[in-house]
Amino acid sequence: ELKVEQNPLFLSMQEGKNYTIYCNYSTTSDRLYWYRQDPGKSLESLFVLLSNGAVKQEGRLMASLDTKARLSTLHITAAVHDLSATYFCAVDIIYQLIWGAGTKLIIKP
């Protein structure tokens, strides 16, 4: 069975701290996406990672992909309150996206 596991599922942190969200998956894929969702809102694409070793950065967020370890990370640097949201990873398997359960991130001022 294809599985995509995110951890932690819930994270509460203080502004200014750094933290990493992990996304492990159980099958071979070299395509992975990160999305952000605000409460009651739609999902917004953050990063598209298309090869082993891919690293992308946008502001305080950086995503990386290690296809050999079947692991992607989303690193948050010097967190700010506006980054509070739920973050999902999704693995691309032959035209399907297999989704993680999401990590709910709360950043306290």
Partner 1 sequence: DSGVTQTPKHLITATGQRVTLRCSPRSGDLSVYWYQQSLDQGLQFLIQYYNGEERAKGNILERFSAQQFPDLHSELNLSSLELGDSALYFCASNTGEMNTEAFFGQGTRLTVV
Residues that bind partner 1 (CB under 8 A): 31, 33, 35, 40-45, 48, 50, 88, 92, 95-99, 101-102
Nearer to partner 1, 33 or 76 (CB): 33
Query: Which class for 76: exposed (0-12), middle (13-18), buried (19 or more C-beta within 10 A)?
Result: buried
Distance separating alpha carbons of residues 76 and 60, to the nearest angstrom: 6
Give min distance, CB of 67 to partner 1, in A: 14
Give min distance, CB of 85 to partner 1, in A: 14
| 1 sits in which H/E element | none
Give min distance, CB of 71 to partner 1, in A: 19
Rg of the Cα atoms in the chain: 13
Nearer to partner 1, 25 or 88 (CB): 88
At residue 82, the 3 state secondary structure works out as: helix
Nearer to partner 1, 31 or 70 (CB): 31
